[in-house]
Amino acid sequence: MRVWDDKPPKNEKLDFTDPADERGEEVIEKVLTNQGDSMMDKDEGAGQKKKGWFSSMFKSIAGNNVLEKSDLQPALKALKDRLMTKNVAEEIAEKLCESVAASLEGKKLGSFTRISSTVQTAMEEALLRILTPRRSIDILRDVQAAKERGKPYVVVFVGVNGVGKSTNLAKVAYWLLQHNLSVMMAACDTFRSGAVEQLRTHARRLQIPIFEKGYEKDPAVVAKEAIQEATRNKSDVVLVDTAGRMQDNEPLMRALSKLINLNKPDLVLFVGEALVGNDAVDQLNKFNQKLADLSTVPTARLIDGILLTKFDTIDDKVGAALSMVYISGSPVMFVGCGQSYTDLKKLNVKSIVKTLLK
């Protein structure tokens, strides 16, 4: 019945629309008009106050965006929590995140770069920078240099009680012996009963001389006499054991300060457990603070390096290494990783960083 020209249709039959279909139009109209204000009338960005992962992702996809603190917060919070589960002291995890935020804020995010990976890379770089020693302390080289001056190289081991001072002093002795150096031990823990005997046992096992004067003597004087004896005997190294002391113990800290000022050792090693969390910061801060306050010389000798013990017992909770280095600025020079004399290692900075960020 269709007529394919300009003439109007002859009758109504040509309209095949079902009256029921008109509801469709109604529905469409409702959808179009009742769905809130037109996006045309909104400012770009208005109504997007809550920035969640989606907006961060968008920023990362769009590229060419300047990073703001609020963009970085979710990724940094996640990173801070991860560092704390690895036993990094909270105060330090917080400070690290703040410095990473400061280094990224205002920077342009590259195209197709996710904020979380930018934050992770910046943190990785910061951790590597902190853990890599600024100046190398090469003990073997320094021992040779002292030897050429006709002097023994003197190391003083300090730290709180029970952290593994004497055991690890013996491990260091064993390592030096393997480098054909002559080593002497000085029993300057004249405070805790049994300490001298304990050191004597190590000396006997390792077949090295020990200088001891029993208990209740001034440890500073015992160390001085030990160094004099080592000079006479042409010992290459003197390893000085000291009493374990709490960082708040004023009389014992004074005695340690005296020992260090009087004897001017080549190296002051802080022995600390890898198990400590927040307390690591307090221990090291107070040791350094007391050595500074109680010093009788204008430029106080502080801690030069760290010996981290019981590393074999902590699984992936490697945070103490970071906390200690961060707070003292001193490198981890040895890592104790077991109870036998061979269980002494160097710190593997890359592996620590990898574990911290895993």
Kindly list the residues in this chain that would bind ligand GDP in the complex (CB under 6 A).
Answer: 161-168, 244, 309-310, 312-313, 336-339, 343
CB of 195 to ligand GDP, least distance (A): 7
Q: Which is nearer to ligand GDP, 100 or 172 (CB)?
A: 172
Dihedral (CA of 190, 222, 330, 164) sign:
negative
* Nearer to ligand GDP among residue 127 and residue 347 (C-beta): 347
The string of DSSP letters for 218-259 reads -HHHHHHHHHHHHHHHT-SEEEEEE----TT-HHHHHHHHHH
Decide whether 167 or 330 has the Cβ nearer to ligand GDP.
167
Phi, psi of 162 (to 5 degrees): 75, 10
Shortest distance, CB of residue 321 to ligand GDP, whole angstroms? 13
Q: What is the DSSP string of 113-179?
A: --HHHHHHHHHHHHHHHHHS-SS---HHHHHHHHHHTT--EEEEEE-STTSSHHHHHHHHHHHHHHT
Least separation, in Å, of the C-beta of 171 and ligand GDP? 8
Pick 227 or 335: Cβ nearer ligand GDP = 335
Identify which of residues 106 and 162 has a Cβ nearer to ligand GDP in the complex: 162
Q: Considering the complex, what minimum distance in angstroms separates the CB of residue 169 from ligand GDP?
A: 8
Closest CB to ligand GDP among 163 and 226? 163
Dihedral pair phi/psi, residue 15, rounded to 5°: -85, 105
Distance CA 330, CA 323 (A): 11
Q: How far is the CB of 51 from ligand GDP (least distance, A)?
A: 46
Distance of CA 276 to the CA centre of its chain: 12
Least CB distance to ligand GDP at residue 48 (A): 53
3-state secondary structure of 19: helix
Q: Is 238 left (phi over 0), alpha (psi -120 to 50) or beta?
A: beta
